[in-house]
Amino acid sequence: MMIDKVYCSQVKPKMEGERVKLAGWVYRKREVGKKVFIVLRDSSGVIQAIFRKDSEEAYKLAKKVGIESSVIVEGTVRADPRAPGGVEIQADKLEVVQDVEFFPITKDASDEFLLDVRHLHLHSPKVGAILKVKATMMQAAREWLLQDGWYEVFPPILVTGAVEGGSTLFKLKYFDREAYLSQSAQLYLEAAIFGLEKVWSLTPSFRAEKSRTRRHLTEYWHLELEGAWMDLWDILKVEEELVSYMIQRTLELRRKEIEIFRKDFETLKNTEPPFPRVSYDEAIDTLQSKGVSIEWGEDMGADEERILTQEFDRPFFVYGYPKHIKAFYMKEDPEDPRKALAADLLAPEGYGEVIGGSQREDDYDKLVQRILEEGMDPKNYEWYLDLRKYGSVPHSGFGLGLERLVAWAMKLDHVRWATLFPRTPSRIYP
């Protein structure tokens, strides 16, 4: 039953006198004297409708209708400087599709309460703006990936083992066996490059870690790429071009939505290739010169990372981490065996890690050795090790946390606002 309606944002002052039909929800209602003002909201925006007593039936309904009721409004377009946006609907017909007695979300809602009623919070134009930006970012990613020759693949979510020893997996029953929810598609993407060379996927990733930070969710959307015949420096170029395009394109298409949350666009505009490349060694030096007590070989914690990101006005890479703090599948630097050919992309303004990437170990023996060093059993990685026995090639890849990129772009205070129904250790409902 598509209604032959116009969207709120389509109504312009030059349409003065035109008869229109709109469908949406009651966003605001004000009764003054013998008039009722209803601000109507739909997915495109808002417009004011005015009900006067001379259209008695509509006026009576308008007086009674509650906030966030679903309604269909008919009337005539009027340009009026007193109306928000300079245009309004002189309404003469109101159909209340479903009347709402009271909407639980009012102006004094805490973050916690908004998450409790997330299903209703999705009415909010602010939430809508974030969801639109997220959608546009993926639209941009697809545009870039298509023109650069990457194939989208669809990896499994039900898996048998860990990608990284440390991360905790959600366990589930798989008939009479155990299985897990995937925390990364990487291993499967690595397999796919032997047929398609350049592949990517967008999948949910799951981490059963009780992380209580503004950067973590137990379920998040993971954009992963894997490319054959690419070394670390090749994949960094892919990363910066892809991220730059996602940001620039979204800035072009969704400026209004971003502006609701972010006032300063400098760091977004600065997101043009090449991104600065900072070695781990330089990062340690910088931190030490700022009085941070950190030694070569230690991993950077959240505090260190934050201090470092405040030095930059655009995203930047940190590369050349010590091997022992990185995952087993990352290739050892042939010029310095203490280091891994790994790089993270950090967002500025304190946001930190958005991408983790690396060149992969493509040598069978070295990979077996690394698996043993991590205290894992090579038997569990048999098919993965096979990839190094049957036409192994140098290859690299990375994973991007979509919510993290959105959170930075919109300057959100938590990644949970960048997802439809956030899952955290304490929250799996609604």
Footprint (CB under 7 A) of RNA, residues 139-178: 164, 166-167
**Token pair of 389 as six digits:** 């026995």
**Amino acid (1-letter code) at residue 289:** S
Point out which span in 140-148, 241-249, 262-270, 296-304 binds RNA (CB under 7 A). 296-304
Task: Annotate each residue in 64-103 with x if it binds RNA (CB under 7 A) or - if it does not, as one string.
Answer: --xx----------x-x-xxx---x-x----------xxx
Count of other CB atoms within 10 angstroms of residue 173: 8
Binds RNA by CB under 7 A, chosen from 184, 201, 250, 267: 184
Give the shortest CB-108-to-RNA separation in angstroms: 3
Task: Annotate each residue in 395-424 with x if it binds RNA (CB under 7 A) or - if it does not, as one string.
Answer: ----xxx-xx---------xx--------x
Give the shortest CB-60-to-RNA separation in angstroms: 11
Report the distance separating Cα 372 and Cα 44, nearest Å: 56
Binds RNA by CB under 7 A, chosen from 147, 289, 293, 426: 426
Point out which span in 15-23, 208-216, 310-318, 332-340 binds RNA (CB under 7 A). 208-216
When the beta carbons of 35 and 338 are compared against RNA, the nearer one is: 35
Point out which span in 13-21, 134-142, 203-211, 286-294 binds RNA (CB under 7 A). 203-211
Q: Which residues of 267-302 are buried (b: 16+ CB within 10 A; e: fewer)?
A: bbeebeeebeebebeebbeebeeeeeebeeeeebee
Binds RNA by CB under 7 A, chosen from 5, 21, 29, 123: 29
Q: Within 302-331, which residues bind RNA (CB under 7 A)?
A: 302-303, 305, 325, 327
* DSSP at 427: B
Give the torsion sign (CA, 305, 309, 315, 321).
Answer: negative
Point out which span in 129-137, 235-243, 262-270, 301-309 binds RNA (CB under 7 A). 301-309
Give the shortest CB-242-to-RNA separation in angstroms: 13
Give the shortest CB-133-to-RNA separation in angstroms: 16
φ/ψ bin of 163: left (φ > 0), alpha (ψ from -120 to 50), beta (otherwise): alpha
Helix (H, G, I), strand (E, B) or coil at 95: strand
Give the shortest CB-85-to-RNA separation in angstroms: 8
Report the distance separating Cα 260 and Cα 13, nearest Å: 24
Residue 222 and residue 401 in contact, taking contact as beta carbons nearer than 8 Å: yes
φ/ψ of 359, rounded to 5, equals: -80, 145
Give the shortest CB-146-to-RNA separation in angstroms: 22
Residue 126 is a binding residue for RNA (CB under 7 A): no
Report the distance separating Cα 34 and Cα 323, nearest Å: 74
Give the shortest CB-177-to-RNA separation in angstroms: 25
When the beta carbons of 57 and 252 are compared against RNA, the nearer one is: 57
φ/ψ bin of 45: left (φ > 0), alpha (ψ from -120 to 50), beta (otherwise): left
Task: Annotate each residue in 47-66 with x if it binds RNA (CB under 7 A) or - if it does not, as one string.
Answer: -x-x---------------x
**Amino acid (1-letter code) at residue 106:** T
When the beta carbons of 42 and 305 are compared against RNA, the nearer one is: 305
Report the distance separating Cα 72 and Cα 89, nearest Å: 12
Residue 356 and residue 398 in contact, taking contact as beta carbons nearer than 8 Å: yes
Q: Within 337-366, which residues bind RNA (CB under 7 A)?
A: 352-356
Report the distance separating Cα 76 and Cα 110, nearest Å: 39
